[in-house]
Amino acid sequence: MPAVVTRFAPSPTGYLHIGGARTALFSYLYARRHEGRYLLRIEDTDRERSTEDAVRAIFEGLDWLGLVSDAEPVFQTQRYDRYREVIDGMLEAGTAYHCYCSKEELEQMRAGQMARKEKPRYDGRWRPEPGKLLPERPAGVQPVVRFKNPVAGEVVVDDLIKGAIVFQNEELDDLIIARGDGNPTYNFCVVVDDMDMGITHVVRGDDHVNNTPRQINILKALGAEPPAYAHVPMILGADGVKLSKRHGAVSVIEYRALGFLPEALLNYLVRLGWSHGDQELFSRDEMIRMFDISRVQKAPARFDMEKAVWVNHQYLKSADPLHVAPELDWHLRRIGVDPAGGPALAAVVEAQRERCKTLVEMAEKSKFFYAELDGYNEKDAAKHLNAEGRALLAELAARLEALPQWNAPALQEAVHAFAEGKGLGLGKVAQPIRVAVAGMAISPPIDQTLFLLGRERTLARLAAAVARNNP
RNA sequence: GCUCCUAUCGUCUAGAGGCCUAGGACGGAGCCCUCUCAAGGCUUAAACCCGGGUUCGAAUCCCGGUAGGAGCGCCA
């Protein structure tokens, strides 16, 4: 049994949120760092909102990021028998009891308390106490089961990130652990699952801190040792407001479409709320080796797309081109370009990576290697494919055509010699070529561009540019 | 309203009482380099929420404000 077992426990009511991804990452890193296990649990007890599509989307996101579970994922809906068994045991032991309050009754209770400026809570009217007379059971009401929370004393959550947090038991009411239809509720399932799965460290969003003392109390009632907790703060949008759809990309999988490399997104995420001195870039091994959960920030952080893109660029620039190639392939096809028959993708990655911060950008700028030009950028053409430029291209084309070898050094030499012979700067020659072959004034160095594009395509495009009528 | 949490450049952060004239990174501005776009190099502007303590000394410790956030469901 490893000393550390963590879990990521999303509820499948939507896509994998970027904040959830970071929580999963921290959970994963903590487990790896301590040579423990990282597990996945799908919290699908909300039958109304949970969908199979969402389950798939979550797996897809986790897969893409490489945060896969060390064991088969646990689905809560498959554990109902177990939950019922535990509830029956608690009923028998007297740590839980039936409550016959109707929803309307509870709503009234809450409204009254709010009006009196009290914290809304269950008043314990069905809570059995020695010598207390319980109300008469109303007919036809399916009772819920409530946990009998201690009335006195305090619960200390020794949070790995936030430090000790103290709650008074008198602040806590008797929460429902089973609904009228007998189905268990979230706070209860979590407790039973964490116990059964042998979770030693619960790493989760800090929107759960207020649930923690109740969960600890239930665990204690069950005679189990509570795990350690680490509540990670949420991720905010650039405007400091909770991240939501109106901020653009919140779903992890959208970041793939935006042109991110998964390892780059992970790197950005790990630095959002955590740091190791001044280091910005971490390989996965470094993350695992250096991750220290006690150094996670206590305050929420804002998602900064500019910096995320910068990190992505760093990865694009240094990654193995062979590793990036399939991603570029994916993006090219996404914009309707079939890379078959063109230059090797890895070679294009190498030529383009410096000037492309995202794969979307790389695909856009590399399209011309694989597809026929769909016209020229007008401004660039007007500037460089004028009469003067076309005359230059006509002459140069002949020289290139006569080249015995079509490789970068030969092309470089030919273009240089041509410019020199004309008494022109290289720019005067390279720019018209660029616009002619790439359709725009942006491309890798001219020798590489022509080499990658190939002899046939280059000469055809030069000819087309020369034949172009003056606008 | 009640409970709990948080607070360093615009953003992510370093800072564990003297090493702070508060460091790094993104972004911004400027310069250099240059066949385009970039990349790279250099320079630069920019922050300790406020008020009290404790201390010889506080960004750091304590208290109080203020501001933000989370939770208060037969949701998770």
3-state DSSP of A218-285: HHHHCCCCCCEEEEECCEECCCCCECCHHHCCCEHHHHHHCCCCHHHHHHHHHHCCCCCCCCCCCCHH
The CATH class, in words, for A378-466 is: mainly alpha
Q: How far is the CA of A134 from the C1' of B16 (A)?
A: 55
Q: Which of A321, A334, A380, A343 is nearest to A361 (CA)?
A: A334
Is A319 a residue whose pLDDT tops 70?
Answer: yes
Pairing of strands A201-205, A228-232: parallel
Which residue minimizes Cα–C1' distance to B25? Answer: A280
Average pLDDT over residues A377-390: 91
Q: How far is the CA of A400 from the C1' of B20 (A)?
A: 62
Which residue minimizes Cα–C1' distance to B34? Answer: A427
Average pLDDT over residues A410-428: 93
Which residue minimizes Cα–C1' distance to B71? Answer: A210
> Which nucleotide has its C1' atom closest to residue A357's CA?
B38
Per the CB < 8 A criterion, the answer to whether A240 and A302 are in contact is: yes
| pLDDT at position A21 | 95
> Which nucleotide has its C1' atom closest to residue A308's CA?
B26
| pLDDT at position A1 | 60
Q: Residue A406: which pLDDT band, with cuts at 50, 70 and 90?
A: very high
The residues of A assigned a catalytic role are: 245
| pLDDT at position A120 | 85
| pLDDT at position A250 | 84
| pLDDT at position A231 | 96
pLDDT higher for A106 or A241? Answer: A106
Q: How far is the CA of A268 from the C1' of B45 (A)?
A: 26
> Which nucleotide has its C1' atom closest to residue A179's CA?
B74
Sign of the dihedral through C-alpha A448, A453, A458, A462: negative
Burial environment of residue A428 by CB neighbours within 10 A (0 to 12, 13 to 18, 19 or more): middle
Nucleotides of B under 7 A from a protein CB: 1-8, 10-16, 23-27, 34-39, 68-76
Lowest mean pLDDT among A109-123, A196-210, A351-365: A109-123
* Amino acid at the residue A226: P
Structure tokens at A3: 């000393």
CA distance A43 to A272: 26
* Cα atoms in the 13 Å half-sphere on the side-chain side of A1: 5
Same fold, A79-232 and A247-370: no
Q: How far is the CA of A139 from the C1' of B70 (A)?
A: 39
Average pLDDT over residues A94-115: 89
Is A104 a residue whose pLDDT tops 90?
Answer: no
Whole-number mean pLDDT of chain A?
93
Which residue minimizes Cα–C1' distance to B35? Answer: A427
- Mind listing the pLDDT tens digit for each residue in A250-301? 899 999 999 999 999 999 999 999 999 999 999 999 999 999 999 999 999 9
CATH of domain A79-232: 3.40.50.620
ipTM: 0.94
> Which nucleotide has its C1' atom closest to residue A210's CA?
B71
> Which nucleotide has its C1' atom closest to residue A161's CA?
B5
* Cα distances (angstroms) measured from residue A102 to each of A105, A108, A139, A443: 5, 10, 12, 70
Which residue minimizes Cα–C1' distance to B3? Answer: A171
Q: How far is the CA of A279 from the C1' of B4 (A)?
A: 33
Average pLDDT over residues A96-100: 95
- Mind listing the pLDDT tens digit for each residue in A106-134? 988 888 888 887 788 898 889 998 888 88
Domain A247-370, CATH homologous superfamily name and number: Glutamyl-trna Synthetase; Domain 2 (1.10.1160.10)
* Cα distances (angstroms) measured from residue A359 to each of A126, A437, A448: 61, 21, 19
Q: Where do the structural domains in chain A lie, given as residue ranges?
A: 79-232, 247-370, 378-466
